[in-house]
Structure 1
């Protein structure tokens, strides 16, 4: 079946916890579906920004059901680096990596979600469910 993965914004960890059982769509939070597509947001942010992965800090577990679902808060450094990526760099990265259009759209959506989180002072979270 695979692992379901969504990245989403929330105004608090309490709000983010609400996504545990059904994901962010179930509680009407802004999200990007990344099922089977993205290994880690921090790796993407490092590749796009040209910075070292170690500069961003670690994500933190917000809640985990102990079986199949969990929510993690992305490190603020990761979110800020991703939010700072401009369209020119996105195009360059897409050409370097020979990305398909759907991949470019998803990366752009993730960048825009990071920008929303920064602009609104919200956290960016990763929901995963096996």
Structure 2
């Protein structure tokens, strides 16, 4: 599996990010720039919880879908401040709202969404 996958903010939604070997995915359904905020609506695993606790997916949404500077995407830094809202708990739909009001050089050209599916796969046994 690729460690991180990156998508530009100019891509047409929906954007499906999927694991090569396991049935894990994130679908970016909508991205919106509005008054100092950048929001990303997404669904994890097509709503399939696989008998896991919802809080696991909320933690994934908070920690593993981040907005990063394109030129620094391979460098780990503290994620940009954002809030997570559950849009539909049963369908594993979330909204991340990133606070870009204090980012002086923000543009859709120089930031990307980083999705790290590794934390999902770390908790799934491999089927051989």
Alignment TM-score, normalising by the size of structure 2: 0.30
Alignment TM-score, normalising by the size of structure 1: 0.30
Structure with the largest fraction of strand = 2
